[in-house]
Amino acid sequence: MNNLEYNEVEKSLKTWLTNKVNKAGAKGAVIGISGGIDSAVTAVLCKKVFKEDTLGIILPCNSNKEDKKDAKLLAEKFNINYKVKDLSDIYHKFAVNLKEDKIQEAKIDNKDMALANIKPRLRMIALYYYASINNYLVIGTDNWSELKVGYFTKYGDGGVDLAPLGRLVKTEVRGLAKHLGIPEKIINKKPSAGLWEGQTDENELGVSYKDLDHYILTGEASEEVRKRIDKLAEKNAHKTEAIPIPARQTLV
């Protein structure tokens, strides 16, 4: 696996963020801080670039209470301006309203992906609200490993303006986190999208980040791992491709 010089990675990403935000005519950045490593790295990079114009939004939604604590730990350590907006009640009301069988509120927090994906989409709405009123861009936290296999919610955590970690695999994000001084508690957490209690990325993916990252960077993997990754990438390709539209010449 490639050995990156993280001083250079940091410098390059800060320049990239500066150029992209300036080109858009925006003032700064808004980031959803989840308590995980990807959002921690993204938030700290933005804080280094937009010192007075970085806003972190912590958005619990039937979430593990430790995630909120870790998000606040990160924001306070790096003096990142932040707000906490709990979306749990909104999620419950929305989910109950949508369920055709009028499922009871107490029973909706389960592994139903149609419901679980509402959470990141509600977060996206909140982030774009704060981006709009501050003239900021929404900075995404998806890394290359997640983008490769489409492990994100379309129009949820995938609904962003910029994705600075999009060409760093998960293990490289971990290396950058150590370089930036992210708290060890956050670095060592099991990666999770926080969709339900006990949910972890690797269990859902069916492959470890170590194997996934190695395959992305080298093209090498066992037959089983390769098939799993390729299947996920093919299935979720629609998430990263432009919305299909018919060719004009087929209509005339």
Count other C-beta atoms under 10 Å from residue 93's C-beta: 11
Closest CA to 71 of 110, 123, 114: 123
Residues near 28 by beta carbon (within 8 Å), at least 6 away in sequence: 21, 46, 50, 52, 53, 54, 55, 134, 135, 136, 137
Q: Using CB atoms within 10 Å of the CB of residue 16, give its burial: 0 to 12 exposed, 13 to 18 middle, 19+ buried.
A: middle
Q: Is 146 a catalytic residue?
A: yes
Spot the catalytic one: 38, 53, 109, 157: 38
CA gyration radius, the chain? 19
Spot the catalytic one: 67, 70, 142, 146: 146
Give the number of C-alpha atoms closer than 13 A to the C-alpha of residue 20, restricted to the C-beta side: 17
User: How far is 176 from 38, CA to CA, in rounded Å?
Assistant: 10
Query: What DSSP assignment string belongs to 29-80?
Result: EEEE--SSHHHHHHHHHHHHHSTTSEEEEE--SS--HHHHHHHHHHHHHTT-
Instruction: Write out the catalytic residue numbers.
Output: 38, 146
